Each structure stands twice: as structure tokens, then as C-alpha cells.
Structure 1
Amino acid sequence: MTEPRNTDPYTDPRAFYGSELRRLREAARLSQEQVGERVFCSATYIGQFENATRRPQLEMSKQLDEVLGSGEHLQRLCRLARTSKVADYFADAAELERLAKTICEYAPVLVPVLLQTETYARAITRTATPFASQDSVEERVRARMDRQGVLGDPTRPVLWAILQEAVLRTPMGGPEAMREQLLHIAEQGRSRRAVVQVLPFAAMNEAFIASMVSVMTFDDAPAVVYTEGAGSGQLIDDPALVEQCQRSYDLARAAALSPRASLELLESVAEDYRIP
């Protein structure tokens, strides 16, 4: 189960941001709904900032400062509250991941973080940051493992992952690490903690997505898409672009092997990695 956030405003910057937003809003005699109308979002969205469940946004903080007449107070607190264990370009998406109703991921090369084993995650981190210290590597691995807590929560999002066949064939960390990783994915699928499909090489002429894509849907907010490349990421909330990504994902889902056939392929390839 995911750990509850620290809500003490004197020890947690995000909680302090939320308490200050609430104080300023109440001093202005405005409800969450009234503030939301002025900055073009829902009352629920404002409430998530006040309750420290959503990471503050700099542009939103600027709008809130203007509405509440607080100068640059919330903008300064926002910069303090936006500290994160993960890369800055992914931090906003990491927060949304915890709030999502469904997470649909497409992986063209590497296993999605939510399905990674610790050994596989360590191999990726060492490969991506060859000059990082061992402490830095372990800190990044812990951050990856911590993200998987969302799947153990009773209110966890539904995870649907499409793995391009290249993911299975790229021996990250060596044969034994890959065997362990593929069997782990298969176990997640068989225990219904995730729906997993493999897009075989032969189907790439029917559906192909060049980069990692994660489509997240929510109970009380529009869907968003997160895409990631080497050392960079982008959170997309433009409705037209989100719809385009959703259609591409649906096409890949239709072209992929069925969940049962995918699990059988995962287990078969895992045996190919077995060291005699």
C-alpha cells in the first residue's frame, strides 16, 4: 500500500504550499469552486493542491497569485515544493501516476518501470548513467521500486502494458536478469495485477509507436499522455494530441498478441535465456 503523504506544513514543503493556498483562499472568502472557475480548473483540482496530493504547478501558481492577490508568494513556495526523487522532467507525470484510474503504457525498447525487477532496474540505471556513483545508482533504483507501490494499493490504477517484441529480445543485465524479468512480467499478468500484451515484430507494419507512451485516465480530470526519450520527457494534455495518442495505442493493442498468447511468449523467451 502506498504511504500517506506527510501533511504537516512545517516539515513538508508541499503541505505548506497547500496550507498557504487554503489560507489565502479563505482570506479572500472564496470557495474551491470559485477559485477553480477563475483559473479554469475544477474545485477537485484546487482541493488536491490544498491537500498536498498533487504537485504544485508553476503556471497555475502564477494564476492563483493573481486571483488571490498574493504577489509571487505561491510561485516561490511552488519552486520549493517541486522537489522530487525522480528526474524533474518526469516528476509531474509521477504524481499523476498515483492519481490515475488507468495507466496504458507502450514500451518500444525497455520494460516499463512499473513492471521492472530491481536487478533489471539497476542494469538500466548503470547503462544510462555509466559515470554515476554507486550511491546515486541505488537512489535511482529505489525511486523506481517506490513507484511500483501504486500497484499494491487497494485503489490502484489498472495497468495495461504493450511491450514491443524488442523489449523481450534486448538482454539488459544479462541472460539471468532477463529471465527473471520476463517471468516477473508473466507472473504479474497471470495474477491479474496487470494486463500485458506483446506486439510482435511481424505486426509492426500494422501498428508502430516510436517512443515510450503512457496514457493516463482519471475519475475527475481529462486524460493526459506522457512520452519519454533519452534524458527527456513531455507531459501532453492538449485534447487533440491526447486523442491521437489514444487512437495509436488502441491500434497497437488490436495488433498485439492476446494477453494469454503474450504470457506464453514471455515464458518461452524467458526459457531461452536460461543458462545451461
Structure 2
Amino acid sequence: MSLAKACETSGFSVATLSLIENGIKPLDPLDIMILGRIYELPNDTWKREVRRAEYASNERASGESKQRLNAPEDVDKSYLEAVTLYALGTDMLPRFVHTPEYRISATTLGCPTYPGDSPASTAERHAGWIRRLASTKGSSMTVEVLVTEDAVRRVVGNPTITNAALVQLVHLSEIEHFKVQVIEREFCLDARLESSYMHLTFPHRQHDDVVYIERSGSGRYIEDPAVCQLVQQSFKALQRSALTPTLSVELIAEVASSLAFDLSR
């Protein structure tokens, strides 16, 4: 059954059903009863799921459950499954290339976070991401990053923390399937770039493309195929206007060196 047909029959919007499919919107018992009827599930199957949903619903209502579904947490897991990742950072480096110290400092500047974003868990996820990206054993992930000159030059936390994040970005650029480009300040003013985002594509059919938009203090998903396509087209247009990868890495290294020099003084 197509998504459009399922939405027409159930009365759900496309966005709601997509959120349910991707595990972002919790299932209420009534949702399961409706979907069980539409997909013609056996009675014992959907009734069992209703009982589970009732328990989860009560836990959420009581406020005792420590589990919280939100976009920033979910995107950290999603980019470990993606095969292609396009990222644009306007005021800070993109979320997934934050060093643990950079991310912790970024939260004080309004970067979206969540209760589990402790230093230890942040460092563990970051290390796993770097290992996967740097793996020479048939890594199928392609990463293309656009970052504004202002984001590169912005000191987050202190010069030492920002220097470490920029040096890491330079090292990542040495990986064959990782590319970073800098958009010069003059072009940013003309283009009025405001929001950072990540566009992820996945290898399996049941997971559509997703765009994760990050603004000060909030993060959200967009899964509409038309929007995802427009974002990708815009990303490619920005790439053509950015510095080449070689010049971009030279600029990032230059800024990192200036921060190290200031610290030594």
C-alpha cells in the first residue's frame, strides 16, 4: 500500500505517518487500532501492540520515563546509518564534526542538545563516528561539508577547543570520501544563509531521505521528498560558489594556526 493510500484511508497526514514509521512519533493505542485495521493485521497482533502502547503512553503521561524522543538525539544515531551526508554549517561547525569539547561549549550558545548529551556519551558517539568514517574496510559513506567562513573563524568555548575542532576537520579532509569547502564571507552576506542543516540519505528503501535543520535551541526533521530534493539542489549550488576543497583546507588550517599562536602568546 502506498503512503498516500494509507494516509487517505486512515485520516493521518503524510507527515504524521512518516514520523510514526521512523520511530519519531510515539504510537498511541488508537493509532495502532486504526493501522491494524488498515493493514489487516490479525486481531491478536494489534491487540498485543495496543497493550504495549498503553503502558508506554501511561509512562509518558506520568513523566517518570527517562526516555525522550527528540530530533537532536535521533540524528546522532541516524548519521551512523546514512550512506550520504551533506552538511551546511552557518554559524558553527556542523554538529557531527564537533569534538566532544566543542559540542559541550556549543550548547551554551544555543546548539540543540538533550539529556543524554553528557561528556562521556558525547565522546563515545564521536569516537564511533570517526572510526566508521576513517575505516578502510569498504566504508560506503560519502560526506560533503559546507561551512561558512564565519563558522570557521568563530571561537567556541576558547581558542584551544576551537583549534582542536578545526585541526580535526583538516585531518578528516584527508579521508578519500570526506570533502569540506568554505563559503567566503562576502558570498554569505549576499546569500543570507541562516540555518545549519544536514541532509542524509539511507541505503534501505524503508527510510526516506531526511533533512535535519538546526537553529538556536531547537532541531527538527523534514522528510518531504520535494523539500529534500530542493535542499540537495541548493547544496550543490552553494558548493559551486564555495572555495575549492584545497583552498578551503588551507583557510581552515590558517585559522587553526592563528588560534594556536594567540594561545601561545
After TM superposition, the structure 1 stretch with the greater mean CA deviation from structure 2, 183-192 or 66-75, is 66-75
1:249 paired residue among 210, 235, 252: 235
- Counterpart of 2:168? 184
After superposition, the Cα gap between the structure-2 partners of 1:212 and 1:246, relative to the gap in structure 1 and judged at 3 Å, is same
**Aligned partners of 1:177, 1:168: CA distance in 2, in Å?**
13
Identical-residue share of aligned pairs (%): 20
**Selected match of 1:148 from 125, 129, 133:** 129
1:201, CA displacement in angstroms? 0.4
Letter in 1 for 2:148: Q
Spell out the pairing of 1:1-276 with structure 2 (5 A cutoff).
55=23, 57-58=25-26, 62=32, 64-66=35-37, 67=39, 68=41, 69=43, 70-71=46-47, 72-73=50-51, 75-76=53-54, 88-128=70-110, 137-139=118-120, 141-142=122-123, 145=126, 148=129, 150-152=132-134, 154=137, 155=139, 157-192=141-176, 194-205=178-189, 207-219=191-203, 220=205, 221-273=207-259, 274=261, 275-276=264-265
- Structure 1 37/152 Cα, relative in aligned 2: closer, same or farther at 3 Å? farther
Query: 2:100·2:119 contact (CA, 8 Å) conserved in 1?
Result: no
Residue segments in structure 1 that go unaligned for 5+ positions in a row: 1-33, 41-53
Question: Is the 1:160–1:194 contact (alpha carbons within 8 Å) kept by the matching residues of 2?
Answer: yes
Question: C-alpha separation between the residues in 2 aligned to 1:147 and 1:213?
Answer: 21
Where does the alignment leave 5 or more consecutive residues of structure 2 unmatched? 8-21, 60-64
What letter is aligned with 1:118?
Answer: P
The whole-number CA distance in structure 1 between the counterparts of 2:225 and 2:176 is 30
Partner deviation per Cα, 1:213-250 (whole Å, 9 max, x = no partner)? 11111233432211111232221111222222122212
CA shift, 1:200, in A, is 0.8
For the structure 1 residues 136 and 216, does the alpha-carbon distance in structure 2 shift closer, same or farther, using more than 3 Å as the test? closer
Partners of 2:214 and 2:231 lie apart in 1 by: 13
In the alignment, the residues of structure 1 paired with residue 128 and residue 110 of structure 2 have an alpha-carbon distance, to the nearest angstrom, of 19
Instruction: State the match for 1:26 in structure 2.
Output: none
Alpha-carbon distance in structure 2 between the residues aligned to 1:75 and 1:170: 46
List per-residue Cα deviations over 1:179-221 (Å, max 9, x = no partner).
2221110111023352111111022255443111111112334
Q: More displaced, 116-125 or 70-79?
A: 70-79
CA distance in 1 between counterparts of 2:183 and 2:252 reads 12
**Structure 1 Cα separation of the partners of residues 84 and 98 of structure 2:** 18
Could you state the TM-score of these two structures normalised by the residue count of structure 1? 0.67
Partner in structure 2 of residue 7 of structure 1: none
Distance 2:191 2:128 in 1: 29
Shifted more, 240-249 versus 88-97: the winner is 88-97
Contact 1:103–1:215, Cα closer than 8 Å, also in 2: yes
Point out which structure has higher relative CO (alpha carbons under 8 A, 6+ apart).
2
Q: Deviations over 1:127-179 (max 9, x none)?
A: 559xx99x974256346526625425544521111111111111112122222
Q: How many residues align?
A: 226
Distance 1:197 1:163 in 2: 6
- Distance in 1, matches of 2:188 and 2:224, equals 27
- Deviation, 1:93, is 3.0
CA distance in 1, matches of 2:247, 2:168: 16
* Residues 172 and 193 of structure 1, relative CA distance in 2, 3 Å threshold: farther
In 1, Cα distance between the equivalents of 2:211 and 2:142?
16
